[in-house]
Structure 1
Amino acid sequence: MYSLIKEKQGVGHLKLYPAETPQVSKDEVLVKVEYCGICGTDLHILHDTFPYNPPVIIGHEFSGVIVDKGENVSSLLNVGDSVAVQGSTKKTCGHCIYCKTGNYMLCSERLGMGHGVNGGFTKYVNVREDMIYKAGDSANLQKLALAEPLACAVQAVEEFVNIHSSDTVLVSGPGPIGLLCTAILKNKGCTVIFAGTSADEKRLEIAEQLGSDYVVDISKTNLEALVKEVTDHGVDAAFECAGHPSSVSTCINCLKPKGNLLQVGITSGDIKLDYSKIVLKNLAIYGSLAHSMTSWEKALKFIEKDSLSLDPIITHVLPLEDWEDGFNLCESKNCGKVLLKP
């Protein structure tokens, strides 16, 4: 058994280490990890641009099978059950207003798996019963590993603005979260304009497979001109998933008056934009950080019902030992979601 560990602060310092199988306490479940997805957060930890507590096993998007349980664990969970794990709630205070309302991501004491505490790039993990989401016997464990990023997309699409099937929507930023937002939006019947650069060629192809109505390489096509051509006044909503300053500005420019900007990508540094447009166009701007308890529940229902087109998004499954190849794929953008299998 090996674990992928961020050894210490600084750029790099990721290494596989032998690890022992943990013992379960009376209130815990032992999960054998089947698949764990590489997230942008993992890349940030590699490059020392996201907070973490080394030494720590990274990875937080994982599915698995229960192999042992403590004596106090409910009879609703049994050895052999396929599960997704809500790693973001590994440590929260449990009593602040954010915890009580299911908005645990905003808890000031929160420590999530994969950065605050040990995560899923390993073979076995201990988790509390309340962190387990049991799936049916026929659950696809690869798709179940998408539960966490899918919950992020569900929150952005479902929990701030009432998106209608008649809406024309811009998705700017073709990473896995942008692709998952697109899958949900197409499931709702929206017209989707999906935008990326020439460096995102593979992901633009995936967007086509997901049914995007317009797939735009902004290196070759003027996105704002296209939006004017295909809409009367601009898009009804824009999902900014890149976190790039020019992408934020373009989204605001493409919105119709009284349109909605969903800021999903995390930006770095200062952003220059014509701030007066927010007032002059009566725009609403929402920040969507990760997920909530309700978005997790909705994401699991999507997976259980197999009602979203998720197959095109998972492009690579590699053994944990090949983690460097997986990280390189993600940094090259020549992939959708990459899963590592211990």
Structure 2
Amino acid sequence: MRAARYYDRGDIRIEDITEPEVVPGTVGIDVAWCGICGTDLHEYAEGPIFIPPAGHPQPISKESAPITLGHEMSGVVYAVGAGLDDIAVGDHVVVEPYILHDDVDTGPDSHDYHLSEDMNFIGLGGCGGGLGEKITVKRRWVHKISSNIPLDQAALIEPLSVGYHAVERSGAASGATALITGAGPIGLLTAAVCKAKGITTIISEPSSLRRNKAVEAGVGDHIVDPVADDVVARVRDINGGRGADVGFECTSVQPALDTLLDALKPTGVLVVVSIWSHPGSVDMQKLVLKEIDMRGTIAYVNSHPATIELVEQGKVDLAPFITGRIGLDHLIDAGFDTLINRNETAVKILVSPSGAGL
């Protein structure tokens, strides 16, 4: 089968590799679509980060570069390993792409398995990836979805789960007001979850194309241009003189973090969602004098079932966020290059590894 293989920074190759074996307890999936994630872009431009460099195997997968990329995937089950009777060939599925030690509690009451030692992600730390035509995944990490959800949209359930977990971390509930800095994929999908939960959304984004996408997708109650507008003043005007109840930092850009500290109300909650590849700074006096609660958030934990339910119930429409569909042969020129050098022109670019979806 064909797959996109990460060798090193700036070195991704489309290669023929052996199809994965479906062993007991695993599910074989024909990958329909896989999204290109911001993490993939960081690996390509600045990595390896999550990807174990050649000669330095990941402690759980025992793999190192080259590895198959891709962790935002949807597909159709083509084989079921021995010992499984709750999933069938033909089921539509998405993957919660974790690589964890076998002794980690991943039961329904766990709230921290995503923080366990040596945690990594399928498609970054090994174990195959969604940028290959097929993948085998342990049953625990395979989630069935309704066949009514188009498989291209289903590939966005993984990043939508990131937004879902971030909103959970914030503690915000219906009636709250949220300021979201950045209308990239994660910012927009976090806003979508907020809207589904009855939270008023204010989105700050300098790109006119991305501001338009926020309007088109219907996830921003108020859209602000931080270059032309005073974001803090706009937030207070919108929220009756108060600052925002909660803020989501989705850019890894220092001015956005600074804006959130100013725009939040006293006792507000600031959630850092983006992955920072460089140190940031915090004005500790503002944090202290406003009693701001600053929280990090990474990925998701038992978030997929509730996220899938939002989509199946029609509370989140994922279609507007898809801005491109490509095959493996155009992964770099039409995918990575666009998202790195012209990122204001695209939100989510999906890849059909087999080309069948094109």
Q: Which amino acid aligns with 2:90?
A: G
Contact 2:170-2:270 within 8 A present in 1 as well: no
Distance of aligned partners of 1:308 and 1:96 in 2 relative to their CA distance in 1, 3 Å threshold: closer
What is aligned with 1:340? Answer: 351
Q: Give 1:191 deviation, angstroms.
A: 2.2
**Aligned runs of 1:98-113 on 2, under 5 Å?**
101-113=110-122
Q: Give 1:71 deviation, angstroms.
A: 2.3
Q: Which amino acid aligns with 2:224?
A: V
Q: Which amino acid aligns with 2:91?
A: D
Structure 1 distance, partners of 2:39, 2:282, is: 26
Q: Which amino acid aligns with 2:162?
A: C
The 3-state SS of whatever aligns with 2:74 is strand
Q: Name which of 274, 277, 284 aligns with 1:275.
A: 284
What is aligned with 2:301? Answer: 292
Answering whether residue 212 of structure 2 is matched by residue 201 of structure 1, we say: no
What is aligned with 1:64? Answer: 75
Q: Which amino acid aligns with 1:130?
A: R
Count of residue pairs the alignment pairs up = 334
Unaligned runs of 5+ in 2: 53-64, 354-358
Percent of residue pairs identical: 31
Contact 1:92-1:99 within 8 A present in 2 as well: no
**Aligned runs of 1:115-264 on 2, under 5 Å?**
115-117=124-126, 118-157=128-167, 159-197=168-206, 200-211=207-218, 212-231=220-239, 232-264=241-273
Contact 1:93-1:107 within 8 A present in 2 as well: no
Structure 1 distance, partners of 2:282, 2:20, is: 50
Q: Give 1:97 deviation, angstroms.
A: 9.3
Q: Name which of 318, 322, 325 aligns with 1:317.
A: 325
Distance of aligned partners of 1:47 and 1:291 in 2 relative to their CA distance in 1, 3 Å threshold: same
Q: Give the alignment's TM-score, normalised by structure 1.
A: 0.92
Q: Which amino acid aligns with 1:285?
A: M
Structure 2 distance, partners of 1:275, 1:128, is: 44
Structure 1 distance, partners of 2:108, 2:42, is: 26
Q: Which amino acid aligns with 1:5?
A: R
Q: Give the alignment's TM-score, normalised by structure 2.
A: 0.88
Q: Give 1:100 deviation, angstroms.
A: 7.5
Unaligned runs of 5+ in 1: none
Q: Give 1:340 deviation, angstroms.
A: 0.4
Structure 2 distance, partners of 1:102, 1:119, is: 25
Q: Which amino acid aligns with 1:249?
A: D
The 3-state SS of whatever aligns with 2:79 is strand
Aligned-residue Cα RMSD (Å) equals 1.9
What is aligned with 1:329? Answer: 338
Q: Which amino acid aligns with 2:265?
A: K
What is aligned with 2:55? Answer: none
Contact 2:311-2:317 within 8 A present in 1 as well: no
